[in-house]
Structure 1
């Protein structure tokens, strides 16, 4: 099963190929995608992405997760979250969201089992 490419990205809007949903923030993995609702885990820009935010994705058989920190990189990714990802034997790429989407789409095209979590505003 492959990960769905990100079809489009602009401030506050993301479209995942094969989905009719227009996302502000989203999670993607091999065979799926959904809204990333920060209220589920109490996520804020600081301290940022929590282990609970990525747990669903890293349990989908991925080799690497790409984390988009926002267009202006306001979203933090604490070391605790990166350590959690590494403890599962998964690599993480943390990038500005436009760069993160480009890298994610490249990995999808290359056939890598990749997941992603993206913030499309600040």
Structure 2
């Protein structure tokens, strides 16, 4: 689905990311790394534990606001199944995120890498399946 050996996101396949050489996949007891839903802020990968269901809410994005990023990319799944209401984008903008990009997860990984390598203040929330 996505492959970029220059990274930091090196690979994305359904439910699995390789970031800086570390695999992040699965959920529950079979989870590797941070799991299949990830958050990257200031270059650090964390588990996006708040993501539940397929309609994004303000509570699912609150933690990313702590990073103070200028740009947030939301990977809404391999097939775009995670719905991102305009109200959530407005909430992010109202709380300091200048630009919000909603893309299918492979495209979100590509955009994140490009902006990160340009030195932009970018964060990523990515749903690894659907």
**Contact conserved, 2:34 with 2:46, CA < 8 A, in 1?**
no
Structure 1 residues 22 and 61, CA gap change in structure 2 (3 angstroms): closer
Please report how far the alpha carbon of residue 16 of structure 1 lies from its aligned counterpart in structure 2 after TM superposition.
2.1
Aligned pairs, how many? 114
Equivalent of 1:106 in 100, 114, 121: 114
Residue aligned with 2:45, SS: strand
User: Please, which runs of 5 or more residues in structure 2 have no aligned partner?
Assistant: 1-6, 24-32
State the TM-score, normalizing by the size of structure 1.
Answer: 0.84
Which of 34, 38, 61 pairs up with 2:46?
Answer: 34
Give yes or no for contact 1:58–1:115 (8 Å, CA) kept in 2: no
Task: Find runs of 4+ consecutive structure 1 residues off by over 2 angstroms.
Answer: none
Deviations 1:38-62 (A, max 9, x none): xx46x211xx122122211122121
Structure 1, unmatched stretches of 5+, are none
TM-score normalised by length of structure 2: 0.79
After TM superposition, give the deviation of residue 121 of structure 1 in Å.
0.9
**Separation in 2, partners of 1:22, 1:64:** 22
Q: Distance in 2 between matches of 1:16 and 1:57?
A: 18
| RCO comparison, higher one (Cα < 8 Å, 6+) | 1
Q: CA RMSD in A?
A: 1.8
Change over 3 Å in CA distance of 1:73–1:31 after alignment to 2: closer
